[in-house]
Structure 1
Amino acid sequence: MMRSLYAGISGLQNHQLRMDVIGNNIANVNTVGFKSSRVTFKELFNQTLRGAAAPAGPTRGGTNPIQIGLGTALAGIDVIHQPGNPQVTGVATDLAIQGDGFFVLQDAAGGYAYTRAGDFRLDAAGYLVNADGLRVLGWQAQGGVLPARDAVNLGPIRVPVDMFVPAQASSRVTWSSNLDATTPTNTPLTRAVDVYDSLGNAHTLIFTFTRTGSNQWSWQAEDAANPGTSLGQGTLTFGNSGLLTAGNTGTVSFTPTGAATINLQVDFSGLTQYAAPSTLEGTADGYPAGELTSFAIDTSGTITGTFSNGTTQPIAQVALASFANPAGLLRDGNLYWESNNSGVARIGVAGTGGRGALTPGALEMSNVDLSREFVDMIVTQRGFQANSRVITTSDEMLQELVNLKR
């Protein structure tokens, strides 16, 4: 009878632990990135009343052991790392992981912490941080170029609001579309193209195209601010098919005040000559200096900035970590740490190496299934009641035993 009392006590204790876990799951049903837990039991151990016996001779069979269990014990509390559903928020810095993987954070001691909660924001210094101010780690671009995405180059991600890109001087002008083959000779056709110097100042070049004869055109470039001075000229020759056969390229050179000399390679290979309206179009590379106006994060975690001059370039890339055994991680709130049984963090780019892709502008919700939790709560409650009944019944039996002396 004492065995049944202690077995009932162990049942009460462990069902109470299970109810604690269920309560924690339900409490965190709306916690971003929360992973539910489950409790498993095992039999405490067995007392052997009689061992097993082998068959003895041709007429006597063997006997099985007689054992009695002494209650239940906690086998484990496992974290269920099944992804939760993403909820769209529209916030640029919110990220949800679709699949396996964890965001990498820098803890107060300079070590690595991991989380599934992607409710990030920018602090006053431009660093991407979580709700507790821990910095999100990844790879910072230099001059629009990302470094090798490995653990060596890992560092805090920063999106400075005062970021700008320097001016890029123009080096090439490209012409495309058609010159009208029926244009009268010596009738000029002009088009303007904007180019930029090394300081980012814009200069308008006027290109003049003049039909000089059958299948032949001349071109000349001038600075709109200084007309009458040729900066470059040449001849275009077209074949009977209307395609350019000679004069595919040219050069234009001039020195703006206070800036470096601009040497332009002019590409005419995209021109044709047909009996159709002239639709000349010239484009130049280069751009002025630009300030950061906005940024966006894609599914690989690359943060791309858009600048006031119309250019875009990578600013940084968010890193993800994966583990051989995520259930072996140590958990503290929304953060996880490596343990002896989790395996070493494998840090890399989202969507590679078993790491999930990112959903920008969304958050991963809790994976708690309320219907399952309520069913488990009922089962746990009944288990607790049944074990309490074992204790009260055993107590009544002991009371009857004590009353035998009367």
Structure 2
Amino acid sequence: MIRSLWSGATGMIAQQTNLDVTSNNLANVNTVGFKKVKTNFADLLYQINREPGAPVEGGTTVPTGIQVGLGARVTGTTRIVTPGNFEVTDNPLDIAIEGNAYFQVITPNGEIAYSANGEWRKDGDGQIVTSDGYLLEPAIVIPEDATDITISSTGQVFVKQPGDEANQEVGQIELVRFVNPAGLRAIGRNLFRETEASGAPQVGNPGDDGFPTLEQGILERSNVQVVEEMVNLIVAQRAYEANSKTIQTADRFLELANNLKR
């Protein structure tokens, strides 16, 4: 009887986490480069009242045994790195990665972080930065008098300056990929850090050695599907309600047992 109370409670806690994850996905439906997250579950320990295959009289064995589970728990949250929809913006500093890779960004403390957000801007010194002012690594500076910016599919950045007929190359954009990108640690602001689970970063130029290419004037939107997340919300709500019902039912059973002497 008491087991069902605790099993129902673990189910409610697990579904609360599922709801939190789904809510975050929906909150970032318009976040450039955002990758949705999926909640993973597993059952808890089992109380074995009789082992499957236990011998019985007559030389036979028990076919199934008696195993009572003790609930569920969240085992992890997996980031789904499938591409989002591409949107044409015609902004020369909007860059989409045509595959699974990341840009390098220098955070204020000097550490390297990684981002799939290709929404770049210029600061007051002409440096290419994120919307929060974090520098692209390696650094690229756009001359003040540049009249045109061209970024090739292989990451070369060219500018047109007054008096020059040919474009001048001012930098090379590099990309980073990981053996297990789902293992990256999210730190907010569309940024990630490497972990033991993600593996070491592999740096290369777009289009080289299997690295994806770039598209200028295009942004990769979030890969969150609103309809799918709404269905997940309904499933989480119903599962939460069902687990609460098990607690209510177990409580009624206990109430009946307490009232037997009356």
Normalising by structure 1, what TM-score?
0.62
Partner SS for 1:340 = coil
Unpaired segments of 5 or more residues in structure 1? 139-155, 163-291
Distance in 2 separating the partners of 1:14 and 1:91: 43
1:104 and 2:104 correspond: yes
- Tell me which of the two structures has the higher relative contact order, counting C-alpha pairs closer than 8 angstroms and 6 or more residues apart: 2
- Residue 82 of structure 1 corresponds to 82
Which of these two proteins has the greater Rg computed from alpha carbons?
1
2:140 alignment partner, one of 157, 170, 193: 157
- Residue 47 of structure 2 corresponds to 47
- The superposition leaves residues 280-319 of structure 1 with CA deviations (integer Å, 9 ceiling, x where unpaired) of xxxxxxxxxxxx4322111111111223231222111111
Amino acid of the structure 2 residue aligned with 1:306: K
1:375 alignment partner, one of 213, 223, 231: 231
Distance in 1 separating the partners of 2:30 and 2:211: 24
- Residue 151 of structure 1 corresponds to none
- Residue 191 of structure 2 corresponds to 335
Amino acid of the structure 2 residue aligned with 1:327: A
Q: How far apart are residue 108 of structure 1 and its match?
A: 1.4
Instruction: State the identity as a percent.
Output: 39
- Residue 403 of structure 1 corresponds to 259
Tell me which protein shows more helix as a share of its residues: 2
Distance in 1 separating the partners of 2:18 and 2:210: 32
Distance in 1 separating the partners of 2:8 and 2:113: 41
- Do 1:104 and 1:136's aligned partners in 2 also have CA atoms closer than 8 Å? yes
Unpaired segments of 5 or more residues in structure 2? none
Residues 392 and 56 of structure 1: is their aligned pair in 2 closer, same or farther, counting only changes over 3 Å?
closer
Within 5 Å, give how 1:275-314 maps onto structure 2.
292-307=146-161, 308-314=163-169
Q: Give the count of matched residue pairs.
A: 259
- Residue 23 of structure 1 corresponds to 23
Distance in 2 separating the partners of 1:61 and 1:366: 58
Residues 393 and 55 of structure 1: is their aligned pair in 2 closer, same or farther, counting only changes over 3 Å?
closer
Q: How far apart are residue 54 of structure 1 and its match?
A: 5.0
- Do 1:322 and 1:354's aligned partners in 2 also have CA atoms closer than 8 Å? no
Partner SS for 2:6 = helix
- Residue 353 of structure 1 corresponds to 209
Normalising by structure 2, what TM-score?
0.95
1:324 alignment partner, one of 146, 170, 179: 179
- Residue 122 of structure 1 corresponds to 122
- The superposition leaves residues 17-36 of structure 1 with CA deviations (integer Å, 9 ceiling, x where unpaired) of 10111111111111111111
Tell me which protein shows more strand as a share of its residues: 1
- Do 1:323 and 1:343's aligned partners in 2 also have CA atoms closer than 8 Å? yes
- Residue 242 of structure 1 corresponds to none
Distance in 1 separating the partners of 2:234 and 2:56: 50
Within 5 Å, give how 1:208-219 maps onto structure 2.
none
Partner SS for 2:255 = helix
Distance in 1 separating the partners of 2:46 and 2:38: 25
- Residue 170 of structure 2 corresponds to 315
Within 5 Å, give how 1:141-156 maps onto structure 2.
156=139
Amino acid of the structure 2 residue aligned with 1:314: E
